[in-house]
Structure 1
Amino acid sequence: MVKYFLFTLLALLIAGQVEAQSNLNLKFFGLSLHPKGDVNAPLMPLNPDKKGYFVFNLGGTLGYEHFLKPDKFSLKAIQAVYSDCAAQLGGFTHLGVRWVIFKKGKHSLNGGFGPTLVYRRNWYELDNYEDSGFFKGGQDVKYQYKFIPYAGEFEYNLALNEQYEFSTTFIPGFPSLMSLSFGIRYWLPQKKKTEAPLPVQPAVRR
């Protein structure tokens, strides 16, 4: 999945060299929400309610978005690295399609979905860990993982100027992967088409 991500990201970057809308987005991650709480809440140090409903994470996401149709449809790739709910190394790799739900003035709301691979350092290394069955991987592996073919995202953007936007992302993965992050979306300058020079007419001898 990671190799597929890198290949697709390279393809999108090459595609972005032509005249089209594309942006880079860097976000701080963030806040994880568990509406039903979590059985492993005692293992989560940044868990103010002690039940696992709200857990703070430290890390970030880097994304690239390339519009196939301006202000309508796009492809988006995201790579995240962060400290997970147990303060261990975690991350996810995502590829997906996006569409603009609405855009008015400085405000816009985008939504979309696509396959996502979530991974984290094996929690079996932690004392008193209870396996909920969500992540794959037993006690003998270094990382646990979960492949989600339909992970979605909602992104609200507020334009600050022509190139920068304040951006907030909500991942509605009820009940286990709901999260909130915020940061900046930067629109890459578009290359202007250059007109081909007029052919030089040969001199006519008189």
Structure 2
Amino acid sequence: MKNGVLALLLICLCLTVPNVSTQAQGNVGLRFVFGTLHPKGNKMAFLMPLRLDDNATFVLNWGFIGSYQYYFHKKRWSVKVAQGMYSDCAKLFAGHTHLGLRVNLLRSERHYLEFGFGPTFVYRETWYRFPDYHQETGLLKNTNRWQWNFVWYGGEIEYDYKLNPKLDLTVNAIPGYPDFITFGLGLRYWPKGHP
């Protein structure tokens, strides 16, 4: 854990070094988290009050993800820092802190498709407060109050539609496949306009 946090701090420090590229641009984003898909359902569905079916295949969530994205090579490669705070499927506080690389796979005048990956710290209030809860995977570490994990490979798939020179509509999916995929919808703002 100490090594992971140290590596994340070093990466953040390296990102503060100014980039001399004239193509470099950045944006800030805010997305509303609205739901989680469990492709195979979930055995703990009975703990999820906002599930849309008995297996909790789709569960309504609410919360926000704020981000800053810095393009260091045209509008192809970027680094993104994101902080999420939202309700989990049991309506408890959850969140993530992410720092990762992004590659833009589809570049047209209005449409963008980005894939990102990088270190992510995920956490939620513990579900062990529920008497019938049992943890299905060994991925989460546990304390009396929290369940958490640090992963090097956290990812995101994002589609952006250019509304005007400074504003994009954005839809994103955060995969925890095969267990879940969380979805968000929001905007990203380019203070200097699109590159």
The equivalent of 1:92 in structure 2 is 96
The equivalent of 1:101 in structure 2 is 105
Residue 143 (1) aligns with residue 146 (2): yes
The equivalent of 1:54 in structure 2 is 58
The equivalent of 1:159 in structure 2 is 162
Is the 1:172–1:178 contact (alpha carbons within 8 Å) kept by the matching residues of 2? yes
In the TM superposition, 1:126-137 aligns within 5 A as 126-137=130-141
Name the aligned partner's letter for residue 189 of structure 2. Answer: Y
In the TM superposition, 1:170-181 aligns within 5 A as 170-181=173-184
d(CA) in 1 for partners of 2:13 and 2:68?
10
**Structure 1 residues 14 and 100: CA distance shift in structure 2, 3 A:** same
In the TM superposition, residue 25 of structure 1 has moved relative to its aligned partner by 0.7
The equivalent of 2:129 in structure 1 is 125
Deviation by residue 1:128-182 (Cα, 9 ceiling, x = unmatched): 11211244334x5211012222122111111111100000111232112311111
Point out the more displaced range, 78-87 or 102-111.
102-111
In the TM superposition, residue 10 of structure 1 has moved relative to its aligned partner by 7.7
d(CA) in 1 for partners of 2:20 and 2:189?
16
Could you tell me which runs of 5 or more consecutive residues in structure 1 were left unpaired when the two chains were aligned.
191-206
**Structure 1 residues 185 and 90: CA distance shift in structure 2, 3 A:** same
**Structure 1 residues 179 and 118: CA distance shift in structure 2, 3 A:** same
Q: Aligned residues, how many?
A: 189
In the TM superposition, residue 15 of structure 1 has moved relative to its aligned partner by 4.1
Which has the greater radius of gyration?
1
TM-score normalized by the length of structure 2: 0.86
d(CA) in 1 for partners of 2:49 and 2:110?
38
The equivalent of 2:190 in structure 1 is 187
Over aligned residue pairs, what C-alpha RMSD do you find?
Answer: 2.4
Percent identity, aligned pairs only, is 37
SS of equivalent residue, structure 2 residue 164: coil
d(CA) in 2 for partners of 1:176 and 1:187?
34
**Structure 1 residues 84 and 53: CA distance shift in structure 2, 3 A:** same
d(CA) in 1 for partners of 2:110 and 2:32?
22
